[in-house]
Structure 1
Amino acid sequence: MTHLVPLAEVDENKVTPGVLGFLVFAVMALAVWGLMKSMNKHMGKVDFKEPAASREEAAQKTTDTPGAQRS
């Protein structure tokens, strides 16, 4: 390998990840990017609005509890 890179110093006792390490990292980065893109698409479909009936029940529960502060 030292004859392929005559300008760089190569230490035979040094361990480096090499091309395989880079490829594994690149595949993992692409997988995370794909998962994030998919998550954003699915989160966009979620409706966070609470139905009116549930809001009224929650408001009634807070006013019916003893010791609740009213403003």
Structure 2
Amino acid sequence: MADMSASASLAMTHLVPLAKEFDENKVTPGVLGFIVFAVMALAVWGLMKSMNRHMGRVNFTEPDDKAAGAAASDAGKSTA
């Protein structure tokens, strides 16, 4: 812990008495993990909102089957 900054060292000295069984080898996500998770959650929310907006603009109506069927039947006739 020699390379820790003064503020991190001061924070550790205040937090260590609060934790009765402080394990230096235990890895916890901490504030940085929460910030990264929150940013990812906001990004997913934004992407879902954008996807819903784009899906609302899609035209799901199919072309008329009679017109497509007539063109297919004309192509199926052969004069040979």
TM band (smaller chain): 0.5 to 0.7
Distance between the aligned counterparts of 1:29 and 1:6, measured in 2? 33
Distance between the aligned counterparts of 1:11 and 1:4, measured in 2? 12
User: What does residue 4 of structure 1 align with?
Assistant: 15
User: What does residue 61 of structure 2 align with?
Assistant: 49
Gaps of 5+ in 2: 1-11, 73-80
Gaps of 5+ in 1: 62-71
User: What does residue 27 of structure 1 align with?
Assistant: 39
User: What does residue 66 of structure 1 align with?
Assistant: none
Q: Offset of 1:2 from its aligned partner? A: 5.1
% identical aligned pairs? 78
Q: TM-score, normalised by structure 1?
A: 0.66
Q: Offset of 1:48 from its aligned partner? A: 0.2
Q: TM-score, normalised by structure 2?
A: 0.60
Q: Which has the higher contact order (CA 8 A, sep 6+)?
A: 1
Aligned AA (1:37):
K
Which of structures 1 and 2 has the bigger CA Rg?
2
3-state SS of paired residue (1:48): coil
Distance between the aligned counterparts of 2:25 and 2:16, measured in 1? 16
Distance between the aligned counterparts of 2:30 and 2:40, measured in 1? 16
Distance between the aligned counterparts of 2:14 and 2:24, measured in 1? 13
Runs of 4+ with >2 A deviation: 2-10
